[in-house]
Structure 1
Amino acid sequence: MREDLGVLRPGDEIAVDLKILLRRRTDLVNDRTRQINRLRSNSRRSARRWSAR
Protein backbone atom coordinates (compact mmCIF):
# COMPACT_ATOMS: atom_id res chain seq x y z
CA MET A 1 0.00 0.00 0.00
CA ARG A 2 1.20 3.52 -0.74
CA GLU A 3 2.72 5.36 2.18
CA ASP A 4 2.20 8.88 0.82
CA LEU A 5 -1.60 8.80 0.94
CA GLY A 6 -3.49 10.00 3.98
CA VAL A 7 -6.36 8.21 5.67
CA LEU A 8 -9.87 9.18 4.56
CA ARG A 9 -12.58 9.44 7.18
CA PRO A 10 -16.26 9.31 6.15
CA GLY A 11 -17.03 12.91 7.20
CA ASP A 12 -13.90 14.52 5.76
CA GLU A 13 -14.52 17.12 3.07
CA ILE A 14 -12.25 15.31 0.61
CA ALA A 15 -14.11 12.03 1.23
CA VAL A 16 -17.45 13.73 0.58
CA ASP A 17 -16.11 15.34 -2.61
CA LEU A 18 -14.72 12.04 -3.83
CA LYS A 19 -18.04 10.32 -3.16
CA ILE A 20 -19.88 12.98 -5.18
CA LEU A 21 -17.39 12.72 -8.05
CA LEU A 22 -17.57 8.93 -8.05
CA ARG A 23 -21.36 9.01 -8.13
CA ARG A 24 -21.27 11.47 -11.05
CA ARG A 25 -18.77 9.32 -12.93
CA THR A 26 -20.94 6.25 -12.38
CA ASP A 27 -23.95 8.14 -13.77
CA LEU A 28 -21.96 9.20 -16.85
CA VAL A 29 -20.73 5.65 -17.47
CA ASN A 30 -24.28 4.32 -17.18
CA ASP A 31 -25.58 7.00 -19.56
CA ARG A 32 -22.87 6.15 -22.10
CA THR A 33 -23.65 2.44 -21.83
CA ARG A 34 -27.35 3.14 -22.48
CA GLN A 35 -26.44 5.25 -25.52
CA ILE A 36 -24.25 2.51 -26.96
CA ASN A 37 -26.89 -0.15 -26.38
CA ARG A 38 -29.56 2.05 -27.99
CA LEU A 39 -27.32 2.72 -31.00
CA ARG A 40 -26.52 -0.97 -31.36
CA SER A 41 -30.19 -1.90 -31.20
CA ASN A 42 -31.16 0.74 -33.78
CA SER A 43 -28.34 -0.36 -36.08
CA ARG A 44 -29.45 -3.97 -35.95
CA ARG A 45 -33.05 -2.97 -36.61
CA SER A 46 -31.99 -0.89 -39.61
CA ALA A 47 -29.79 -3.67 -40.96
CA ARG A 48 -32.71 -6.11 -40.79
CA ARG A 49 -34.94 -3.68 -42.67
CA TRP A 50 -32.37 -3.22 -45.42
CA SER A 51 -31.65 -6.93 -45.75
CA ALA A 52 -35.38 -7.71 -46.02
CA ARG A 53 -35.68 -5.61 -49.18
Structure 2
Amino acid sequence: MLYELNAMSVADIRYHKEGNTEILEIELNKKDRLWVRLKPAITIKQEAKE
Protein backbone atom coordinates (compact mmCIF):
# COMPACT_ATOMS: atom_id res chain seq x y z
CA MET A 1 0.00 0.00 0.00
CA LEU A 2 1.32 3.42 -0.94
CA TYR A 3 -0.31 6.67 0.22
CA GLU A 4 1.19 10.14 -0.01
CA LEU A 5 -0.13 13.16 1.89
CA ASN A 6 1.27 16.64 1.32
CA ALA A 7 0.14 18.90 4.16
CA MET A 8 1.62 22.12 5.46
CA SER A 9 0.37 21.52 9.01
CA VAL A 10 -1.63 19.19 11.22
CA ALA A 11 -4.16 20.61 13.69
CA ASP A 12 -4.42 17.52 15.91
CA ILE A 13 -3.76 13.78 16.08
CA ARG A 14 -6.02 11.49 18.11
CA TYR A 15 -5.64 7.81 18.97
CA HIS A 16 -8.80 5.70 19.24
CA LYS A 17 -8.99 2.12 20.52
CA GLU A 18 -12.18 0.08 20.64
CA GLY A 19 -11.72 -3.62 21.27
CA ASN A 20 -9.22 -4.95 18.72
CA THR A 21 -9.45 -1.83 16.50
CA GLU A 22 -6.81 0.93 16.70
CA ILE A 23 -7.23 4.13 14.67
CA LEU A 24 -5.23 7.33 14.24
CA GLU A 25 -7.38 10.36 13.41
CA ILE A 26 -5.30 13.11 11.80
CA GLU A 27 -7.11 16.45 11.72
CA LEU A 28 -5.58 18.64 9.03
CA ASN A 29 -8.04 21.51 9.60
CA LYS A 30 -11.71 21.90 10.59
CA LYS A 31 -12.88 20.40 7.27
CA ASP A 32 -10.29 17.74 6.43
CA ARG A 33 -9.43 14.56 8.34
CA LEU A 34 -7.48 11.43 7.64
CA TRP A 35 -8.32 8.17 9.42
CA VAL A 36 -5.62 5.48 9.51
CA ARG A 37 -6.80 2.16 10.93
CA LEU A 38 -3.81 0.24 12.24
CA LYS A 39 -5.46 -2.94 13.56
CA PRO A 40 -6.86 -5.43 12.68
CA ALA A 41 -5.91 -4.42 9.11
CA ILE A 42 -4.35 -1.22 7.76
CA THR A 43 -6.84 1.01 5.95
CA ILE A 44 -6.87 4.73 5.11
CA LYS A 45 -9.96 6.92 4.83
CA GLN A 46 -9.86 10.59 3.90
CA GLU A 47 -12.75 12.89 4.82
CA ALA A 48 -13.32 16.37 3.35
CA LYS A 49 -16.34 18.53 4.21
CA GLU A 50 -17.54 21.70 2.56
Relative to total residues, which structure has the larger helix share, 1 or 2? 1
Larger radius of gyration: 1
TM-score bracket, shorter-length normalisation: under 0.3
More strand by share: 2
